[in-house]
């Protein structure tokens, strides 16, 4: 068998239905560029979960544990070491997401629909931010931590660009988008497993060195990784070719051209205008073509995007708190980190299977399956809380089920929208979905950290209610959620 045939056989992006490499529905960008975007998503997940676990430490370190960490560079303890208080620690932990949201607005205005510039900006700010965060120990300058965290927050904008790239109709066929979204979820699973494990391992370095120690080592290592990755981006990433300039005739048909979309039967032809439409009028014209049912689909996907990350973030933050407060567990933060990482490892094979399933099963069915699995984990957890039968095995089964179900569901939101709406909406929906993700992650972490204080029954009931609202939405819109597989 020729090498090319062998690679085609084992290629996870290949499909038995594909008979022509130029088939529009199955198109893909260059493999090097695609791998770069997926690796970037993985690096962001490792760092993002690294910070999420830091956030959990703010609430989870009871006095009798002392200085024991799930991960190395705890922002809470690091800030206190340099003279900060608990309020400052909270600002340090939460500020990157705010800077990511603020940075999205100007960046999307000047990216010209391309990806190489955002990649360069993200790598640059990630390196500078991590170096500043690490140097703060040696400089003994508290506010350098805050500056470093703000800079790394700018690099979080690539979360949106990674999602947009994998649903971009210019380079990704309609039968590839859910598959690629599945690969992004695999990156989430890898980050969920490797983040706590590597952090705990690095903490064993200790604090004998004022430059490379338990607080600073993740910053230096991540800065080095991003520097090497930046070189690969410069050498191998191929951006989307710029289209030729539009003629006056083409400019006079902005609405009609936008209606040439993939699998969107609800759109009909619109009369062409004789003069170019101003941008604001063109946008209003585009909005007027979105039907009520399609607005319902948009709201449904945004809700699920927020809910999934709310629940995942709340559990990641709550497990160290709940485990430390439960009499028959009494976890240290390091124990909780290993517990979370083990759950990610267990889920990993199922997330890989989800990639294969995406090529044969409709998005709406995968969404329903993931939601059902996650909801089963929540209701089971509620029952063991009610019967006071919480132990390591029962809690682990609930965590694995919740993590698996809602990770699968996160793969669907943007890919389904990209198949429902015109191609020129992809950038807008990417921003909306990413803002929903950020909202869910931040509010979920806050809710998870306060879960023990508000009562664990209330903690779970709120999440079940949120999922229930989502179930009502996608049940009502079930027929409108139908899209092509893949």
Q: 296-338 pLDDT, tens per residue? A: 888 999 999 999 989 998 898 788 888 888 888 888 766 777 7
Domain match, 87 and 99 both: yes
Domain match, 329 and 230 both: yes
Domain match, 279 and 409 both: no
Domain match, 198 and 259 both: no
Domain match, 255 and 331 both: no
3-state secondary structure the chain: CCHHHHHHHHCCCCCCCCCCCCCHHHCCCCHHHHHHHHHHHHHHHHHHHHHHHHHHHHHHCCCCCCCCCCCCCCHHHHHHHCCCCHHHHHHHHHHHHHHHHHHHHHHHHHCCCCCHHHHHHHHHHHHHHHHHHHHHHHHCCHHHHHHHHHHHHHHCCHHHHHHHHCCCCCCCCCCCHHHHHHHHHHHHHHHHHHHHHHHHHHHCCCCCCCCCCCCCHHHHHHHHHHHHHHHHHHHHCCCCCCCCCCCHHHHCCHHHHHCCCCCCCCCCCCCCCCCCCCHHHHHHHHHHCCCHHHHHHHHHHHHHHHHHHHHHHHHHHHHHHHHHHCCCCCCCHHHHHHHHHHHHHHHHHHHHHHHHHHCCCCHHHHHHHHHHHHHHHHHHHHHHHHCCCCCHHHHHHHHHHHHHHHHHHHCCHHHHHHHHCCHHHHHHHHHHHHHHHHHHHHHHHHHHHCHHHHCHHHHHHHHHHHHHHHHHHHHHCHHHHCCCCC
Q: How many domains does the chain have?
A: 2
Give the chain's radius of gyration (CA, Å).
Answer: 23
Whether residue 4 has pLDDT greater than 70: no
Domain match, 233 and 262 both: no
pLDDT of residue 486: 67
Domain match, 320 and 381 both: yes
Domain match, 204 and 222 both: yes
Q: pLDDT tens-digit profile of 168-216? A: 888 888 888 888 888 888 877 777 667 666 766 676 677 777 788 777 8
Is 3 inside any structural domain?
A: no
Q: What distance lies between CA 94 and its chain's CA centroid?
A: 16
Is 6 inside any structural domain?
A: no
pLDDT of residue 243: 63
Domain match, 195 and 325 both: yes
Cα–Cα distances in angstroms (integers) from residue 401 to residues 178, 371, 381, 414, in the given order: 21, 10, 10, 23
Nearest-angstrom CA–CA distance, 272 and 254 = 8
Domain match, 152 and 255 both: no
Question: 0.95 cut: is pTM over it?
Answer: no
Least confident among 122-126, 307-311, 356-360, 399-403:
356-360
Is 81 inside any structural domain?
A: yes
pLDDT of residue 418: 80
pLDDT of residue 237: 92
Neighbours of 10 (CB within 10 A): 7
**Range among 64-73, 87-96, 441-450 rated most confident:** 441-450
Nearest-angstrom CA–CA distance, 409 and 309 = 10
Per-residue exposure over 13-45, b if at least 16 CB sit within 10 Å of its own CB, e if not: bebeebeeeeeebbbbbeeebbebbbebbbbbb
Q: Are 408 and 483 in contact (CB under 8 A)?
A: no
The CATH number of residue 214's host domain is 1.20.1250.20
| ∠ CA 169-125-225, rounded to 5° | 85
pLDDT of residue 77: 62
Is 137 inside any structural domain?
A: yes
Q: Distance between terminal CA atoms of the chain?
A: 27
């Amino acid at each position: 068998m020729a090498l090319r045939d062998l690679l085609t056989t084992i290629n996870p992006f290949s499909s038995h239905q594909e008979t022509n490499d130029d088939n529009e529905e199955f198109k893909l960008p260059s493999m090097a560029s695609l791998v770069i975007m997926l690796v970037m998503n993985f690096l962001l997940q490792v760092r993002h979960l690294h910070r999420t676990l830091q956030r959990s430490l703010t609430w989870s370190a009871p006095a009798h544990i002392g200085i024991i960490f799930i991960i190395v560079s705890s922002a809470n303890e690091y800030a206190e070491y340099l003279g900060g208080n608990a309020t400052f620690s909270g600002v340090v932990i939460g500020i990157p997401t705010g800077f990511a949201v603020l940075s999205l607005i100007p960046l999307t205005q000047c990216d010209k629909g391309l990806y190489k510039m955002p990649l360069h900006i993200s790598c640059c700010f990630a390196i500078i931010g991590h170096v500043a965060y690490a140097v703060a120990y040696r400089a003994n300058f508290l506010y350098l931590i805050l500056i470093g965290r703000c800079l790394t927050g700018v690099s979080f904008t690539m979360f949106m660009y990674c999602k947009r790239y994998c649903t971009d109709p210019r380079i990704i066929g309609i039968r590839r988008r859910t598959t690629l979204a599945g690969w992004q979820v695999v990156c989430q699973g890898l980050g969920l497993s490797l983040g706590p494990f590597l952090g705990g391992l690095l903490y064993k370095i200790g604090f004998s060195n004022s430059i490379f120690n338990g607080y600073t080592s993740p910053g230096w290592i991540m800065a080095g990784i991003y520097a090497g990755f930046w070189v690969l981006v410069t050498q191998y990433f191929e951006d989307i070719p710029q289209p030729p300039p539009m003629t006056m005739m083409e400019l006079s048909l902005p609405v009609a051209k936008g209606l040439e979309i993939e699998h969107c039967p609800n759109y009909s032809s619109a009369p062409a205008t004789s003069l170019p439409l101003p941008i604001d009028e063109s946008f209003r014209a585009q909005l007027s073509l979105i039907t009520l049912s399609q607005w319902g689909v948009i709201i449904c996907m945004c809700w699920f995007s927020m809910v999934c990350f709310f629940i995942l973030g709340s559990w990641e933050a709550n497990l160290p708190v709940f485990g430390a407060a439960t009499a028959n567990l009494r976890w240290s933060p390091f124990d909780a980190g290993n517990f979370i990482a083990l759950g990610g490892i267990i889920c990993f094979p199922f997330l890989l299977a989800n990639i294969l399933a995406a090529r044969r099963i409709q998005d709406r069915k995968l969404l329903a399956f993931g939601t059902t699995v996650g909801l089963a984990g929540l209701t089971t957890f509620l029952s063991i809380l009610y019967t006071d039968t919480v132990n390591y095995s029962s809690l682990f089964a609930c965590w694995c089920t919740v993590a698996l179900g809602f990770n699968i569901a996160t793969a669907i939101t943007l890919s389904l929208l990209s198949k429902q709406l015109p191609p020129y909406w992809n950038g807008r929906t990417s921003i909306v979905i990413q803002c929903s993700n950020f909202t869910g992650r931040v509010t979920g972490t806050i809710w998870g950290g306060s879960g023990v204080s508000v009562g664990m029954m209330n903690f779970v009931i709120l999440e079940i209610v949120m999922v229930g609202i989502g179930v009502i939405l996608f049940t009502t819109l079930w027929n409108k959620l139908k899209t092509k597989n893949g």
